[in-house]
Structure 1
């Protein structure tokens, strides 16, 4: 398991987490009764969507051995090696507004997105 320092290791974090995203995710983790010192948010890429790939998120009680672990603003984010190839350098944000509310991934590796923004191609 490789770990990124919260201040950014030399290679930089696998995923940057905004304070709003961290606050919301930690609140949800606490609500599930998970220990935020060990548990975290898993961010991954899966086949699907009209553009070919889509993002997935879930809570995990602990990272897998080969995960890249980023800890920022009190939130641990787990990314598996194959997903890291697609989402490395991305920013995880949380948006709350009239149009939509939820987590959003800003991915610099995306070449095209579907119209709804739920799937992408690199």
Structure 2
């Protein structure tokens, strides 16, 4: 059984969102810490208006996907992406970084043409 899959369409028709093993492990631990069922619940990755460059990433835990979400499963973590956000983040990789200056989730987005100085917002 593969640890990576896409629900809601074939891999050929759905743009891929990848999740590193570290990011999936961190998110699963947080989901479980919230008492959420990891077989149904997941991490919602979305784009919202905001920040000095115009768009910013958002993440939250949801008990279940919305009807029109694309659902990715990587390393036993379910990731939900709504159609409006998909056009901005298709092809992205969700990673977890820990270091001396910062610790947290980071989106590596190939669609970004510019970011603000702090790296919290972007333009495509």
TM range (shorter): over 0.9
Which SS does the other structure have where 1:55 is aligned?
A: strand
Distance 1:84 1:4 in 2: 14
Distance 1:57 1:105 in 2: 11
5+ residue gaps in structure 2?
none
Residue 120 of structure 2 aligns with which residue? Answer: 118
Residue 33 of structure 2 aligns with which residue? Answer: 31
Deviations along 1:2-57, one digit per CA (max 9) or x if unpaired, are x716xx92346531000000000000000000000000000000000000000000
Which SS does the other structure have where 1:37 is aligned?
A: coil
Residue 49 of structure 1 aligns with which residue? Answer: 51
Q: How does 1:56-75 map to 2 (within 5 A)?
A: 56-75=58-77
Residues matched between the structures, number: 118
- TM-score normalised per structure 1: 0.92
5+ residue gaps in structure 1?
none
- TM-score normalised per structure 2: 0.91
Is 1:101 the counterpart of 2:94? The answer is: no
